[in-house]
Chain A
Amino acid sequence: MNGPVPRLGRTPSRWRVQATPIICVMAGSTIPALLPIISQSPTLPPFGLLILIGWRLLHHEIWPLWIGAPLGAFDDLMSGHPFGTAILLWSLVMMLIEMADSRLFWRDYWHDWLIAILACALFLGGSLLITWASGSKTPLLLVLPQLLWSALLYPLIVRIIAAVDRWRMMA
């Protein structure tokens, strides 16, 4: 077996092309809720957001601009954030990436990484502010490891997305 091979004159089904990225992001949001880890501090990076950014930066026209809201709603339900956190912050992230895209003429791999780190920082910082507003007193230092894991994990996630994207485009 040499993996999937593209066939001449065939195009992948529409369902596969459109649904694969969305299912990827939803799976990323669901993973932390499935793992039997009873963590004592915020440990896991926001997988859903990392996968969302990965797909968005790989294919700029894959989604409409408002995709952050519905996928964020799903992420909120899975992660346990106050409902609305990811709807708001993911929408902002998608719009900011859009603006960055219209400024940058060329995007390098390092640009992508930097964008992903900034987006994660915005999400983690924003969600911490929202948690503070609801009465928690989590110290800021506690989310820094999460940001570090996100930054380190992003290249791996890009690789996985690229592999999935290859499968997606095969008819």
Chain B
Amino acid sequence: MARSSSRRPGINRRAQYSLFVSYVIAIAGAVTGLLALLLAKADPAGFAVLRAAASETTRPVAATLSSMVSGIGSIDEHFVAYINAGSQNAALRRQVEANRVRVIEAQAIEQENIRLKKLLKLTESTDAEVATARLISSSSTISRRIARINAGSLQGVATGMPVRAPEGLIGRVLLVGPNSADVLLLTDSQNIVPVRRASDNAGGISTGRDDGTIEIRPLSAGANPFHPGDIMVTTGTGGLYSPNIPVAVVVALRNGTAIGVPLASPARVEAVMIERPYDANIPPPPGAPEEGDNGEKQGQ
């Protein structure tokens, strides 16, 4: 292909001018982008409205496609599964052996639990759940892990709400449009969740690694207390996620941290539940001011 003609204006003064102006505008465009980035860093919510509008326009098609197709989402997992087939098989077999015993124990505990709850006349509180939605698409071209759900502010979803599936934690709501919302997945490196081991209370901090796994750092200094096969659940610390939502299973240890795989794979879950932040569920302590009064009296 021969080189451009009008972009090499020669001695034509008018053409030289317009070429110069086009360069000026292009550089101004690049600088605008840079300014927008700085602005977005200073005020992350600034462009949320634009982004929400874009997500609204793509929602109908994405929701239709996702309802027609199921299973494509886990395509990358299938590839990885083939690569790791041997070691994964052995690990899974060990886990099944361990789980068989646990299931029996759990059944017994469940029976006991039902009995005790009846005794206490407790009922499951169901007001935590705001909406149920499906994951319809995701940010598959960028390095952040953000998925989109087909429920938004009209369904009562608000920024910061935890999102979970029956199998475990999915993430939290990042951005809300009228009928759609973006969810920051558990595996994003900016999503930090306080967790603890389900069997005892060994605490840790879970951070995403952006590749479908999470990293669990122990809270206590010293040797890493976690082992492959450990199930991690949320602690409820921080007031966002309610306690005891399953988070991940530890699969490997690396450099003093544990590598975990989320128990709820966003690619495979059918439906997700958007819940109220855990703090909002806690009623204010009854008679708190009275206790204060008592304290004062005692002081006098």
Contact = CB atoms under 8 A, between A and B. Distances in A.
B32 interface: yes
Interface stretch (A1-9, A14-22, A80-88, A153-161): A80-88
Instruction: Pick from A33, A77, A142 the residue with the most CB of B within 10 Å.
Output: A33
Interface of A: 30, 32-47, 57, 60-61, 64-66, 68-70, 72, 77-89, 91-92, 94-95, 98, 101-102, 104-107, 127-128, 130-131, 133-139, 142-143, 146
Given A136-B144, A137-B210, A65 B76 contact: no
A88 B33 contact: yes
B58 A80 contact: no
B210 A92 contact: no
A102 B54 CA distance: 37
Contact of A40 (B47, B137, B212): B212
Contact of B62 (A34, A42, A101, A131): A34
Contacts, number: 219
Contacts of B7: 60-61, 98, 101-102
Given A92-B30, A130-B37, A134-B41, A37 B72 contact: yes
A130 B70 CA distance: 33
A102 B19 CA distance: 13
Given A61-B6, A81-B142, A82-B40, A41 B211 contact: yes
Given A33-B62, A78-B58, A69 B33 contact: yes
The range of chain B's interface size is: 35 or more
A69 B32 contact: yes
Contact of B210 (A37, A70, A136): A136
B62 A127 contact: no
A39 B143 contact: no
Interface stretch (B123-131, B184-192, B279-287): B184-192
A82 B72 CA distance: 27
B169 interface: no
B300 interface: no
Interface of B: 1-8, 22-23, 25-30, 32-41, 46-47, 50-51, 53-55, 58, 61-62, 65-66, 68-70, 72-73, 75-77, 135-148, 182, 187-190, 207, 209-212, 265-267
Nearest to B29: A69
A101 B143 CA distance: 31
Contacts of B68: 36
A153 B35 CA distance: 32
A102 B4 contact: yes
A80 B34 CA distance: 16
Contacts of A85: 33, 37
Contact of B2 (A77, A106, A135): A106
A108 to B, nearest CB: 8
Contacts of A98: 7
Nearest to B61: A34
Nearest to A98: B7
A135 B143 CA distance: 12
